[in-house]
Structure 1
Amino acid sequence: MIPSLCHLMVDPNIDVREIAASTLIVIFWHLGENVLSSIRKRQLIPEPKFQMLMTRFNEAQMNGNHVSSNTPTTSQRTGRSSRRSHLPQKPLLTPRSNRGMVGSRKGQLLEEQENSTSVPSWQRASSVPAHKRPLIVSAKGSSSAGSVSDEAFQRAFTEVPKCNVFSSKQLKDQISEACAVLENTDLDWSRRMIALKTLRSVIIGGGLDYSDFSEEVREMQAALLTSVKDLRSQLCREACVTIAFFCERLGLVMVHVIDALMPTLISLMQNSAKVMATSAQLALQYVVKYVCSARLLPHLQTAMSSKSKEIRRNTASLFLMALTLWESRTVEKNMNIFLECIKASINDADPETRRTGRELFMQLDQEYKKQADMLYKALDPSKQRTLPGFVSQSSSSQSIISERDALPISQRNAAYVLHKASPSYYSGRSTSDIDPGAVRRVTNRTVRTASKWGGPLQQVNGTPSTTQMRTSAAQRLSSASQKFVSSLRRVPPTPTNYVRSQPGSRSSSPASRFPARIPPRSQMSSRTKIQIDEPEDHASVSSDSFRFETMELATALSCCASSSTTEKKEGLKALFTIISSDKQVNEMDLKKIVERLTPLIVEAAHKLLQPLTDTLIALVRRYHEELNDWLNLLIPKLVNKCSTEVLPSNLEKYRILMEAVRTSFDPEKQLYAICKFIRDPVRNNVSVKTKHGLLMYLHDLMRGMDSAPSMNQSEVRQAVSKIFQWVDDPKNICLMAISEKVVCDMFHLNASDFTSMLATFPNDLKDRLQTIVRKNSFCLSTGNGINTNEARVGILETTAQINDFVDRRTGLPISSPRVSPQLINGLARSPYDSIPLRRASREDQSGSLSGYILDPQGFADDPEQQEELITKIGEELSLHNQRSEERQRAMSVLSQITRDNLFSLWDKHFKMIFLLLIETLKDSDENIRRMALKLLKEICYAQASRFNEFAEMALMRVLDACTDESKLVVTAAEECGGVLATHVSSATCRRVLLAIIKSDVGEPKIHIAIKLLTKVIESLSATELELILDEVAPPIVDTYNYVSSSIRKESVVCLVAMIMLVGEEHMAPYLSELNKGKQKLIDVYVKRMKGIFE
């Protein structure tokens, strides 16, 4: 009997396992230790379950509840309740009062579990010892077994060990210690649970009172991510509780951490363990409720396309919460995502998700009626009828799919009823003879006809022949839509192009099938508004009334892939109409269009060139922002065709197309795309004519650029080297003149970056480039408004761009020693010169910001106020070595709006702010320099991605500040450098820091460069470090032999960091160059670090 009972201990049914366990406890009670030792020796029960059984048996012995040894009678064996009378009762199995940290909260929750008829969760067979299982999880029903409630989350928020924080250092130590424990997955899970509770207790103990806390939040990202990914459900639940608590207390401060945690939390919602799934769901509810940021939406949008119905169902609920709770400004900016996900929810296969989708639509209709109308019209009629307010009709004449029928009753007026009853609405035709099969046959036959496209818009968006069958489209397209089609085409369509069919014997003539006019706006409901009176509103007919179908786009693309020139031409006309219509093409369809048009550019015949050019021009002018990745293919192909074309008419078409590309796309992205093509050894094997065409395109592009892109990029450097490799070839001698123009254009656009780039070239190429610039210094390059003769003054001055910018902002007098009078007069005016400096009543009469009162809520919602304030701040920061107090106040205000995420005009003003702060690092006042470094650090925290363009300049200036005379400035510079090293591109940081380490710039700079390189290395993964070991390790091994002890010490720390990541085996070849004493010292440090982690 005992082996059978032991086998039942692993039964899938929880009731069977419980009864088997209780029966075995009775046997242990009567037969003693012999049975226990026999079961353990024969390993009849898995060890975790045996330990659980032993715990319950020990509890029974401690409580002294003796089980009667009398043999049950026959009557006692007849019923389940009688048999259970001899089993240990539930009070016998009550957890100990000193269980973990929950002993003080048994109370009411424990009583509910003891009195429940279902099996308590802590009594289940589990690998977790019974005395360690928490009481948060409830199991009051089979459907919700193991789920976590919101009340349990709220209780768990404050059930933490007491922790008082009395200083910033203690705060950092507490958080660092907890994070170290959480990131070490080899430690016992109970220690990691305590560490998670410690993170919550830090906030409860007063951690929020310290300004450094927001900086420490990012340090928790890796620890929280590791905890959420843990396979142990209790640890995962505790991590979700901690995340929810932090979101509730910190709000938007958590946005960067949540951005990294969202994918993991979303994937947890489908976990088979209810504890983990419901914990993730609750955590995400807190995230959406308290972290109202648009950065969450892409993650939720991706989740809506998940294969798991649990994920889609819960994501739809999160969208409903966001739509209800978030500010209107945030929702409106991301309305496309909301509309797409609401539509996906309504069309979902899961009934629960569809119900949530209908609730989403109701909420949208209450708050944003215009967008709700647009979404309503984009839905299938069958889905429209499921929305609230729809009443289906039963008569045959009313069973046609009609947008009017789909209107909520509250939105129908008397005019609609009168119009609906009119015969003209049915276009003179009985609706009872419409056969769906006939519709499909007529549609297919129409598509296959020789002039299948007719007028492009009619076929793609519904020809008269197919539209009469699609009655919803027939109500929208009439003479107004035909006029709009005519306005889009190069040649107005003739009536003979229309393909008409008359299915059914009772069909009337084609002319009578469509209403003579569409009722005016006042006679229609809000969901079927159509303007036909105003010519400029014709475009809205396409935008608001219908969406081209994927089937029709696929047909157009298949025609473009046909071997027939005629079909290709028709397909291009259809694509042109689709692109030109007001309806937005989604990203996936754009990709299909691009993939189809790219080969046509190469193989375009003379007959296809006109429609191809029209289609491409329409595409790049409308969707250039979505097609930046296409530039790398598009520009070289166009240049190649233009360079090899001989027919003047075709050549002119290509030139017009290239001009449209040049003026539509971002010039900086075009520059980088061409440079990538030039440096590519596989793709750049082209003819001399194509090379000349590329350089000419580059020359024309840079002449028209107003802004100064970053020239000191790897793509640009390698492209310049490749261009002069071309020039050195005797076959390419004709490229000499145009290549020199391109070099001069680069210098004029960004003298500072170009000069920095020169330092990376070999000496012969460097001298050659300098000679070219000097030789062309008297030639005018008016593309960016700068005279090259004037720019020649600063040819080797690395800070030319910054000084010029500041000089233009401050209006220096002609006698300023920093720049020549001619340079001031010749420079282009800054865009800020034309902005009047408005002084609000919040400022004092002297124009300073000392009396400026900032209203956070009003300021965040008022772009004009932001523009006014940032202009004033820029004006103050431009006054170098003057008005120190006012500049400190200006930086304080800028720091406040940066920390609190109140400033939204970074796209426009980031470069100006950055350059002014870099220039401020040269100020004579040490307090100003220190404050500028702190502000740079805060901006890097908030806008890290924007620093990538200026990372090299920022690092160089911060390293310069590390040699400052003031210790406070040096400390601020080291902190700023540490943030830059961990937040901007690691490749850029590594390149700059290694260049400093290998140079002879002085010990202080080399010391701090090694220190920052260590931070960069610690932020990498083992795989990433292995790939760059050959680049990183040898210079650090060399500095280990340095004379200075401080540099040697930092070198040891850096080498130890590498060993801890990749292991001693990978580092052995590099360390073999050191003597045994130094190797032994490294081993000591490695052992010490391993001891700390253990």
Structure 2
Amino acid sequence: MAYHKPTDIDGFITQMAKADMRIKALLAEDLVLYLNDSENSIECVDLGLLVDGLIPWMIGSHFKIAQRALEAFTELIVRLGQDFNAYTSTILPHVLDRLGDSRDTVREKAQLLLHKLMECRCVSPQSLLDKLTVCFKHKNAKVREEFLQTIVNALNEYGTQSLSVKTYIQPIVLLLGDPTPTVRDAAIQTLVEIYKHVGDKLRTDLRKKEVPAAKMAMLEQKFDETRSDGLLLPSALNSAVSNDDIDAAVVSRPTRLVKRTPSATPRKPLFETQGSGDLLAAGAVSWEIFESSFENVPQLTIFSQRDMDDHMKITNTIVGDKNMDWEKRVDALKKIRSLLMINAQNSPTFTQQLKDLSIAFLDILKELRSQVIREACITLAYMSKVLKTRMDQFIIYILQELINLIQNSAKVISSSGTVALKYVIKNTYAPKIVPIITQNLMQSKSKDIRSTLSEVMVLLFEEWPTKALEKNCILLRDALRKGIADADSDARKHSRCAFWNFRRHFPEIADSLYGSLDPATQRTLEKERDSIGTNAGLRSISAVDTAAAQRARARAQYSSMARMKISSGSASLQGQYAQQARAKKISAVSATPQQPPTPERRIRSRSGVSQSQPTSRSTSPSNKLRDNFGIPSIYKQTGTIPKKTSGIPRSLANSRETSPTRGTQFGSLRRNVYGTNSPRRLDRPPVNPARPVLAQKILQQSREAENALADALSPEDHEMSAEFGRLGIHRKVSRDESDESEASSVCSERSFDSYRRGNDSYSWNGSRTRLDSSRPMIEDIDTIIQFCASTHWSERKDGLINLTQYLSDGKMLTSQQLQCVLDLFRKMFMDPHIKVYALFLDTVNELILSHANDLHDWLFILLTRLFQKLGGDLLGSMHGKIWKTLQLIYEYFPADLQMQCVFRILIDAAQTPNTKTRQATLKFLTTLATTYCTAAQFVIHSQTQQLVDRAILKIIQTALDQKSADLKSQARFCIAALYNCNPSQMTMTLANLPKQYQDTAKAIIQQNIRRSTSGMLNTHFRKITRIMSTL
């Protein structure tokens, strides 16, 4: 029976009883996605039917469906809040059983569900733990172990204020003698965590219990280590003043933070919030704990370089082993700090060791045990403090996982991640980490992440030099804009503070951002500046050109009103408005911005924003605005292209699309190419004196620049018209025939203007009509590259079109230009716009045809990105274009170089390719070995022997994979193709592998040989049969 995706909760309920496991899996996944979207309604006939339908899924044998059921319950808890309390007693016994599941992911989801029950106040933490005390004697050891972890998580989250732990001491002591080692270890760790909260009162209480002497000695030792490490919380340190009961060890949390006096320095101390009592009382980690823990490590004795390399190798193995005992992993993390203290970073092999260690850290930051995460964050902070910028690639690789720790419910984990992140920002100046921070700041749904990253932005602007921020100044501006308007008050406060620090680095961009904000937000920013004190780098907004800020706001308002299409008949200035356009000398326009604004002008601009016609589309910045804000008319080094007045289209009322980005492919370039010094038109009537002053100046300057350009490009200039005719072929390349293009309808600007009267030259679209009549190709390669680097997809599209034409004309790039293009192409591989990516592939093809011999070092990156793209969901046409590019690679690059690059991709531990990506990689290698690579090219040298051995081993392991039949079959074909390419080399390679993999490869090769031989015999037999039948 076909599966139809439901659109409401009742639809899900009706299909939950189906027995087909495939339908259940699809239905469960869709249900989780549906509940996760807060916009979807959860109203239904009876929500109890949904709960009753999910319970069989949760207790079933299919672990994926059970995991989805737990996720669905978790989403329901978040959506319903305290109203879910009616179903808590129904699901709790089944969740308890899932704590003992053999799969880590299922146990993790069960723990998350319990956490959400407490967080959403469906049940109090104490009540929930009391209901789960049966877990102490549960027959499943995993349940006993997970319940101890639940106690630790609840204690770290809510502290001793909300929990009474005395009743759990005796059952935990009994688990010290549990037959399962992991349960015994968890019981010891649980007592240590309780000791951090209650202090020596726990020692007294344990002595009253019948704890074995050996166990008691071990606990005493661990308690002493915890105290000496400074890990005791304030509740433990102050518990001595209360009575003998453990429950009395409760300390009230402060209600507010201590504020600095106004006369204090405006620079905030590092990690100011981490030392606050409210965080520490909940189990958080402070900067002081980090500093005291850095050198609290075992001492190592190293006699030679080989000893140091052996220590690093062993440490890396232990840290990256998920099955290793957690205490050994903690000790290994401490050993990393010990090695750095004896200058392991000076070793010649340290760079490679650091790269291998980053892979292990990526796994350990996903660990569920808080003690391991805490030690990993301390080690990471110390590494950043010691290694500085040498940590840049390491940090880029693990930064996302570090940010994810911030939203963890356990305070010890979230605070550790926060402090470690601040150490990284303070010590490691890596520009590539800025996009990761800004992306999370703008897109994260967690208010904790957004608030913390806003605070990190303050530190970023305080600590980093301007040069390290220049490349990402636009991203930082956008992040500040989003942060200032964030829904979370803390995020807004930190973003406002960050704005003033940002202004120290980029005053022009900050002033432009300030001008685009509404007056209420500007006042709030001013108050924030006053609250952080006066600083020479933070000049008052009174020093900013307020008239320019008002003009920026007016332009944004005009653009918004135009999009709203308030009046369909006012999109052009026909009739009386056409007679109000005034003429002014171009020289006078260019000279105006040099004059400072008069006080009278300032007072008028503060009183309010003047209004022009309702659908005025002239949002282009004037020359005066550019001069006041320091925005040059050339391309910036950041790769962004400033807007020009002639680059904004004028939509007609009949146009189906009024977006200001239409038809601007070369609008921003024409000012540079042709200039604005053409003779002005003398037949313009005078301006209407009743027009508002501010709107008048903005619109007048825009129209004059456009008309000047139109006159410069008018058909009267026969030489230029002839040049346009020669370059007119470009229109065939750049013309877009889709439904969204301007060429798709008679109602579009281009075609509608063709039906206009020839003498109607005073409308806003008059100059646009003449400008669009011919579009020249861009000849300057530097300009083309700057277009490719633009943040606007339409300008990137134009840059790619022109670069393709440039290369197809036989022109070559210099080594510097080629390197710049390759750097841009690395980003374009992940371009989200399908049209830009299609053009990008065409450009890559031309680049291969022109510069194949110069791209040998870039081939690894090219193949990696193409295989990753093939692993996504693509249209058939795009899939074919990518394979067309791969076909060119087959033909234009040496086969042995391609083979080495593919082998490197197969064993690259820094990547986690999906099934489609792996299958595409093996398919490419199979075709390479079958069609393009000869036996002489598949020769293994001593320096590549290890690479080939690991790659062949990886392919054989894939051939044994049972998860995907297609991937398994492709791996088998690949092994056979490599053997057929060079049997002797393949045999020598297989001899270096373990025996079991040798046998697997031989069986695959022999099967292929039999199949090939059988096919040849069958063909020969059929030929003989046909001959005999003719006799």
Range class of TM-score, shorter chain: 0.3 to 0.5
Q: Computing the radius of gyration over CA atoms, which structure comes out larger, 1 or 2? A: 1
Higher relative contact order (CA 8 A, sep 6+): 2
Q: TM-score, structure 2 length as denominator?
A: 0.46
